[in-house]
C-alpha cells in the first residue's frame, strides 16, 4: 500500500469537478503538494495510508475559494473614505493617500493582513492588482497563499513608478523573477481604460505576449467609464481594448458591469475571464453586472471581493452569497444561479477565469492540494436534509459563514488548523496597521483644512502662482471702447471671442479663497464653437478693492491654475463648497500693445445671473407691505446660488451675493 503525506477522511467531499461529484463519507489523499486521489472513504482507505490521517466528521471538504479580483494591500486603507462616488473616492482619496504612503513596507504589511483574512475565510488563491507587486508576491509566498500578482500600470505617476515605462519595467522583472514559482503567478495589471493611454495598452499587450503572461484589468465598471469612452472613441470598452490586442492575452476582466450582448460574446469567444464584484458594485452604486446572461453564454465568471477600501472586507462567503442574491433580485428570477453553480463560480469557474484550472479549482487527482474544511456543527448550519444531495450547496451558500472555516491548506501545506493561523502573527500585524492608520489620519486632517492642499492632492494643480492688476469698469455701451481701440498708438496683437461658464465655489473661511471652475467655449468668426477648455483657478483672498467711483482696481491676488481634468460634479463632491455661484458671460478679449507694454482688455457681457434682480433687491426702498415680495426674490436668488435657506438670514444672503458679484 502506498504511503502518502496526508489523508482527510470521513468528510462531506464536494469535488467541484465536471460532474459535481459528492462523496459522503468521502476522503482525499494528498502527497506533498498534490492531490493523489479523491473518492469514497472506503475506496481511499483501501488504497492508501498516510503519515497524517485527519477525521473530518461533520465537515465539508471542498476546494479553497478563489478570489478573482482584489487589491490586497488596501487592507491598510479599510474604512478610510466611504460613501463617495468612485471617481471622488479613487482620485480624491485613494490615489493621493497612496502617493504619500505606499512603500514596499506598507505593501508587505497590508498583504500579510489580507492573507490572514483570506486564510481565515477559506480563500486559497487571489488575483491581485497593486503597486510594488514584487513585495506583494514575497509577502504572499511567506504566508503560503497562492496568488496571481499583477503589477499596476497606468498613465499617471504611481507610488512605485514615475512613468508607465517604469511600471512596465517593474512588470517585466516581476515576471522574470516569479514565473516558475510554485505559489506566485506574475501578471501585468493595466488599471483601466480611463487611466491608460493607447501607448500603455499597446505596450502591455506586447509584454504579455512576450512572456505569455496574465493580464488583470478593470473593464466597464461604471456607466461614466463607458459613456466617456464612447464620446472619445466612438465605442464601448471591449471593442476598444480588442483594437490593442488585449483579448488575445490571458486576460481577467474585473467588474464588467456595463457590457452589451456583443461585448459579452466577444469576451466568451476570446476566453477572457471575468471577475464579478458584487459588494463593490453595490457600495459604489456602479450597477448590476449581467451575470446570469454571461454565464448562460458560457463566460467564465468568477467572484472577487475587490480591495478592502471599497468592500470593506475580504470575506468571500459574503461575496458568494451576494453574487447569488443580486443575480436573483436584479433579474427578478429566483431560479437563476442555483447554489451549486454559485459555488462553482467561487471555485472551478474562478480558476478558469484566472486561466489556472489545470492546477486548482476542484478536488481532482493531479491538481494542487488547495482545500478547506467547513464545520457544519454550528447552530446556523443545522439541521441538514439528506433527501436532495444538492442541499449541501445551499447550506454553504445561504447559511454557512466564513468563520465556519476551520482548516485551510494551500499547495499541501496547512496554513490554518482548528482556526489557528500557522504562518502569520495577527496581533503584530494589527499593531503595525494601527500605527500607519494614525499617520494617514494626520495627513488627511491636515489636507482637509486647506482648499489649496486639497487641490494639490488631486495632482492636476500646477503650482503656478500669478499676480495681476485688474481694473474693472462698468460701461453702458461698448462702442466707445471699440473706438478707443482703433486709435493710433494702440496695436491689437490678438483677439479672441469666447463664451465662459464659470462656477465659483465659496468656503466658510474667506482665507481659503475661492475656487473657480471655468469652461471656455472658443468661438470662431462665424460664432461657432471651435474648441472647448476647462480650467480650475484657486483665487486667493482679495486685497480690499479700491473703489474709484464706478470702477474697482484690484492690485494683486494670487491665483493657482490647473487644467480641470474632472467634471464639475467631481469637484463639487470633492471640495464640498459652502456656496456656489454660476456666472455665464460672453467675452471679447484683446491683447493690445500700448507704448511698449502689453495689456489684456476683456469686454464682458454678463448673461447669467440676472443682475437686475439683485439690483432690485439692493436699490429699491422696500415698504413693509412688500416684505413678502422681497423675501421671495431673495429666496429665488439664494436657491440659484445653492445656499441653504434654513441656515442663513437675509442680510447674509445679500452680503454673499454682493461679494460674489463685485468680485
**Residues of this chain that bind Zn ion (CB under 5 A):** 306
Min CB(304)–Zn ion separation in Å: 8
Rounded distance, CA 433 to CA 111, Å?
11
Give whole-number Cα distances, 293 to 263, 270, 339, 393, in Å: 12, 17, 17, 22
Cβ pair 480, 540 in contact under 8 A? no
Nearer to Zn ion by Cβ, of 150 and 361: the residue is 150
Nearer to Zn ion by Cβ, of 81 and 554: the residue is 81
Nearer to Zn ion by Cβ, of 41 and 306: the residue is 306
Nearer to Zn ion by Cβ, of 305 and 503: the residue is 305
If you ran DSSP here, which 8-state letter would residue 355 be given? T
Min CB(148)–Zn ion separation in Å: 14
Nearer to Zn ion by Cβ, of 68 and 411: the residue is 68
DSSP string, 238-251: HHHHHHTTGGGSEE
Strands (E), 227-296: 250-255, 273-276
Nearer to Zn ion by Cβ, of 31 and 306: the residue is 306
Min CB(280)–Zn ion separation in Å: 7
Nearer to Zn ion by Cβ, of 26 and 307: the residue is 307
| Cβ contacts of 74 within 8 Å, gap of 6 or more | 94, 110, 130, 307, 308, 309, 310
Min CB(271)–Zn ion separation in Å: 21
State how beta strands 529-539 and 146-153 pair: unpaired
Min CB(106)–Zn ion separation in Å: 18
Task: Reply yes or no: is the peptide bond before residue 609 cis, omega within 30 of 0.
Answer: yes
Shortest Cβ contact with Zn ion: which residue?
306
If you ran DSSP here, which 8-state letter would residue 36 be given? E
Q: Largest alpha-carbon pair distance within the chain? A: 110
Min CB(218)–Zn ion separation in Å: 6
Min CB(70)–Zn ion separation in Å: 7
> What is the residue whose three cell numbers read 469567444?
269
**Taking the mean position of all CA atoms in its chain, how far away is CA 577?**
24
Min CB(225)–Zn ion separation in Å: 12
Enter the C-alpha cell of residue 461.
494643480
**Taking the mean position of all CA atoms in its chain, how far away is CA 512?**
29
CB count within 10 Å of CB 18 equals: 9
Rounded distance, CA 359 to CA 345, Å?
16
Nearer to Zn ion by Cβ, of 8 and 94: the residue is 94
Amino acid at each position: 500500500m502506498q504511503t502518502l503525506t496526508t489523508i482527510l477522511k470521513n468528510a462531506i467531499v464536494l469535488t467541484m469537478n465536471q460532474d459535481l461529484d459528492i462523496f459522503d463519507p468521502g476522503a482525499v489523499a494528498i502527497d506533498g503538494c498534490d492531490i493523489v486521489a479523491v473518492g469514497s472513504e472506503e475506496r481511499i482507505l483501501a488504497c492508501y495510508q498516510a503519515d497524517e490521517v485527519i477525521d473530518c466528521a461533520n465537515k465539508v471538504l471542498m476546494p479553497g475559494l478563489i478570489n478573482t479580483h482584489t487589491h490586497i494591500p488596501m487592507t491598510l486603507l479599510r474604512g478610510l473614505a466611504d460613501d463617495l462616488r468612485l471617481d471622488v473616492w479613487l482620485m480624491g482619496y485613494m490615489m493621493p493617500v497612496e502617493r504619500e504612503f505606499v512603500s514596499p513596507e506598507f505593501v508587505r504589511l497590508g498583504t500579510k493582513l489580507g492573507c490572514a483574512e483570506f486564510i481565515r475565510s477559506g480563500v486559497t488563491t487571489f488575483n491581485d492588482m497593486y503597486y510594488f507587486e514584487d513585495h506583494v508576491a514575497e509577502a504572499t509566498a511567506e504566508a503560503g497563499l497562492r496568488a496571481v500578482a499583477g503589477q499596476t500600470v497606468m498613465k499617471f505617476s504611481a507610488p512605485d513608478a514615475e512613468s508607465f515605462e517604469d511600471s512596465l519595467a517593474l512588470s517585466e522583472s516581476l515576471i522574470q523573477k516569479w514565473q516558475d514559482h510554485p505559489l506566485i503567478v506574475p501578471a501585468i495589471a493595466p488599471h483601466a481604460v480611463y487611466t491608460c493611454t493607447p501607448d500603455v495598452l499597446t505596450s502591455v499587450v506586447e509584454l504579455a505576449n512576450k512572456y505569455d503572461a496574465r493580464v488583470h484589468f478593470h473593464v466597464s465598471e461604471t456607466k461614466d467609464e463607458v459613456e466617456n469612452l464612447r464620446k472619445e472613441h466612438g465605442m464601448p470598452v471591449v471593442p476598444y481594448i480588442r483594437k490593442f490586442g488585449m483579448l488575445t492575452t490571458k486576460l481577467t476582466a474585473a467588474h464588467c458591469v456595463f457590457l452589451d450582448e456583443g461585448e459579452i460574446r466577444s469576451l466568451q469567444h476570446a476566453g477572457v475571464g471575468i471577475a464579478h464584484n458584487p459588494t463593490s458594485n453595490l457600495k459604489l452604486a456602479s450597477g448590476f453586472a449581467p451575470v446570469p446572461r454571461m454565464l448562460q453564454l458560457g463566460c467564465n465568471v468568477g467572484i472577487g471581493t475587490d480591495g478592502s477600501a471599497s468592500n470593506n472586507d475580504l470575506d468571500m462567503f459574503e461575496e458568494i452569497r451576494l453574487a447569488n442574491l443580486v443575480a436573483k433580485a436584479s433579474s427578478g428570477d429566483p431560479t437563476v444561479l442555483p447554489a451549486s453553480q454559485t459555488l462553482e463560480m467561487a471555485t472551478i469557474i474562478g480558476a478558469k477565469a484566472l486561466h489556472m484550472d489545470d492546477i486548482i479549482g476542484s478536488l481532482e487527482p493531479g491538481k494542487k492540494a488547495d482545500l478547506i474544511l467547513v464545520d457544519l456543527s454550528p447552530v446556523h448550519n443545522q439541521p441538514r436534509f439528506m433527501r436532495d444531495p444538492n442541499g449541501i450547496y445551499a447550506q454553504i451558500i445561504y447559511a454557512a459563514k466564513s468563520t465556519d472555516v476551520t482548516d485551510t491548506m494551500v499547495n499541501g501545506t496547512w496554513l490554518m488548523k482548528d482556526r489557528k493561523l500557522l504562518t502569520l502573527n495577527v496581533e503584530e500585524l494589527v499593531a503595525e496597521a494601527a500605527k500607519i492608520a494614525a499617520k494617514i489620519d494626520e495627513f488627511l486632517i491636515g489636507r482637509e483644512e486647506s482648499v489649496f492642499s486639497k487641490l494639490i492632492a488631486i495632482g492636476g494643480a500646477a503650482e503656478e502662482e500669478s499676480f495681476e492688476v485688474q481694473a474693472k469698469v462698468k460701461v453702458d455701451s461698448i462702442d466707445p471702447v471699440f473706438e478707443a481701440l482703433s486709435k493710433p498708438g494702440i496695436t491689437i496683437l490678438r483677439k479672441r471671442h469666447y463664451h465662459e461658464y464659470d462656477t465659483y465655489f465659496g468656503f466658510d473661511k474667506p482665507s481659503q479663497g475661492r475656487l473657480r471652475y471655468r469652461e471656455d467655449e472658443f468661438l470662431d468668426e462665424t460664432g461657432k464653437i471651435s474648441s472647448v477648455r476647462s480650467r480650475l483657478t484657486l483665487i486667493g483672498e482679495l486685497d480690499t478693492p479700491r473703489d474709484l467711483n464706478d470702477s474697482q482696481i484690484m492690485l494683486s491676488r494670487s491665483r493657482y491654475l490647473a487644467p480641470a481634468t474632472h467634471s464639475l460634479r467631481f469637484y463639487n463632491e470633492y471640495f464640498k463648497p459652502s456656496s456656489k455661484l454660476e456666472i455665464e458671460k460672453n467675452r471679447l478679449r484683446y491683447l493690445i500693445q500700448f507704448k511698449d507694454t502689453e495689456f489684456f482688455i476683456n469686454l464682458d457681457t454678463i448673461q447669467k445671473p440676472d443682475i437686475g434682480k439683485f439690483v432690485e433687491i439692493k436699490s429699491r426702498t422696500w415698504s413693509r407691505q412688500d416684505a413678502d415680495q422681497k423675501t421671495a426674490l431673495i429666496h429665488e436668488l439664494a436657491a440659484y446660488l445653492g445656499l441653504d435657506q434654513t441656515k442663513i438670514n437675509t442680510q447674509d444672503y445679500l452680503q454673499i451675493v454682493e461679494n460674489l458679484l463685485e468680485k
